[in-house]
Structure 1
Amino acid sequence: MGEVRVVPSGKVYRQIFDAEVQLVRTLGETRKKSQHHGIPFGSRGIPIIQNLDAPTGQVISHRQRLWMEGLLNDGVTENPVLHRNAALSAIKPKEVVELSNAVMEVKGLPDVVVPAKIGSSIIQELTTGKQQKHKAAVMKLEEELATISKV
């Protein structure tokens, strides 16, 4: 995430404008790179992917065919779910652990949040301040009226 900084009130729109300019430039660079590689940007075509696991003309690989034709839990046949989990854990163990930690942290949050302070005195403070200003204004008005009436 980006850095957080306090901005004077007149500078907010400039920041938004600068961010939009940066996004437009990045989009332009991405489009240029995709044209350079010969792939149209945003194309919905079929991506060029080679499946090295299954030979051309076959839908499933030899390993998948053995699993499909094998007996349940025979100990010789490879379990594809365990194979996939092992492959994922070998590729990204740190990210999977961080994700599971984040999930556990969110699950550990309480369902009902109890506020640390019940009620707020801000409304009472604002009301008191306005009453004091009103009393001061009324007293000033009475003094001015008394001065005018004496003249």
Structure 2
Amino acid sequence: MAIKRKVQAVWKGSAKEGSGQLSSSNKFFDNTPYSFKGRFENEDGRLGTNPEELIAAAHSGCYAMALSVAISEAGHTPDQLDAQAEIVLDKEGDGFAIKEIKLTVKGKVSGLSKDKFLEMAEGAKEGCPISKALSAVPISLDASFES
């Protein structure tokens, strides 16, 4: 059985002066705004999101869950996993490209060794469905552990 998720983007106006809204069937996104300035000019005080933040949210969430599954399957329960994904967007030719994704995780798991945690952290990076989908981009991992 395939699981399907859908978000609709509506854009009005030119690329630089226009704006868009994102909406999802579950209403998590409900006319959430996004714009050129918010995406490419690091506009402060902006309301909304941008595609790169959405990729980072999806990747950090997927990664944390994949690592939690691995830890749970090894017979442990994570006390806390703090995962972050940073998307590096840079100019390429006439446009832009995602050049790198930097995953960072800080984990606290009682009864688990640091070496085993680091091994599981790397495995979760490789096994996370979002990591697999983004495999055309270099993905680095900085993992730290607290027992």
Alignment TM class, shorter chain as reference: under 0.3
- Structure label with greater radius of gyration: 1
More strand by share: 2
More helix by share: 1
If asked which structure has higher relative contact order (CA below 8 Å, sep 6+), I would say 2
Please give the TM-score of this superposition, normalised by the length of structure 1.
Answer: 0.23
